[in-house]
Amino acid sequence: MGYQPERYDLLEIAMRAAREAAGVIRAAAPRSRTIDWRSKGPTDFVSEVDLAAEACILAVVTRELPEATILAEESAADTSPERVAHGLALVIDPLDGTTNFLHGYPEYAVSIGVLMDGEPVAAVVLDVPGDELFTAIAGGGAFLNGTPIRVSTISDPQRALIGTGFPFKDPADIAPYQAQMSRVMAQVSGVRRPGAASIDLASVAAGRFDAFWENILSPWDFAAGMLLVREAGGLVTGLDGSHLRALAPGGVLAGNPQLHEWLARVLREP
């Protein structure tokens, strides 16, 4: 695909917004354990830092891209999904890994996916404590701090490191997940649950994880990460291998092509 200046401009704006939000998060990190939290659900929290980081991103993107529709986690209730599916849209998680952040566990990120007619065209995942900037442009590759990244070449499950996310909102989701986990654990080298889905997907793109699955995610958790994986040569789909729609909540399965196919098969088993 040829040079597409508009996608690079979009990526540039998303990177600037993510860096500013990361500055807000970084400044608050030393007092993260004394920050006020509010419950969105019994085990789902939002803090003043999520809100401040989101406000910071929105200030940049609404100024630079006034024509874009915004789907941002903390103000998502104000957005109709149909509007986001047309034209230019930004799907924003201002702080992915809030629980980690609030506990001082260094695994959280700013995630911004830029969509055109519902498909990701540019992506930024900025791992704040690790200071790792993952970027991608549709047709233009995936990068970590400016260096190209690729998915791993491991095809033997016994050698594979698999990333995952636990269901944590509805206790009824735990038993089916445990059944999946038992099958996967028995066959691989290791399973990790770091706690920030955008970084999990970036880890697949960078070849650190060979595959990843999570049964329930929201668009802002994966809109950026899905493009990173694709542009790094990986596959990212729904759990059943179906086309992953960036704007629909649901399960996400990602991996290098071999391990993606293997994990899809294992998750399908009764």
Residues that bind Ca ion (CB under 5 A): 73, 93, 95-96, 221
Q: Are the beta carbons of 101 and 74 closer than 8 angstroms?
A: no
Q: Hunting for tokens 């910071």 — which residue is that? A: 56
The total number of residues shown for the chain amounts to: 270
What does 195 bind: Ca ion, ligand IPD, none (CB cut-off 5 to 8 Å by kind)? ligand IPD
Min dist. Cβ of residue 129 to ligand IPD (A): 14
Orientation of helix 257-268 relative to helix 174-185, angle to 10°: 130
Min dist. Cβ of residue 9 to ligand IPD (A): 27
Q: Binding to ligand IPD by residue 107, rule CB under 6 A?
A: no
What does 217 bind: ligand IPD, Ca ion, none (CB cut-off 5 to 8 Å by kind)? ligand IPD
Stretch near ligand IPD under the rule CB under 6 A, chosen from 4-12, 28-36, 92-100, 153-161: 92-100
List 44's β-bridge partners, or say none.
41
C-alpha to C-alpha distances, 221 to 31, 59, 66, nearest whole angstrom: 25, 21, 23
State whether the Cα torsion 2-64-45-30 is positive or negative: positive
What does 74 bind: ligand IPD, Ca ion, none (CB cut-off 5 to 8 Å by kind)? none
What does 258 bind: Ca ion, ligand IPD, none (CB cut-off 5 to 8 Å by kind)? none
Orientation of helix 48-64 relative to helix 5-28, angle to 10°: 150
Q: Binding to ligand IPD by residue 54, rule CB under 6 A?
A: no
**Cβ-based nearer residue to ligand IPD, 97 or 234:** 97
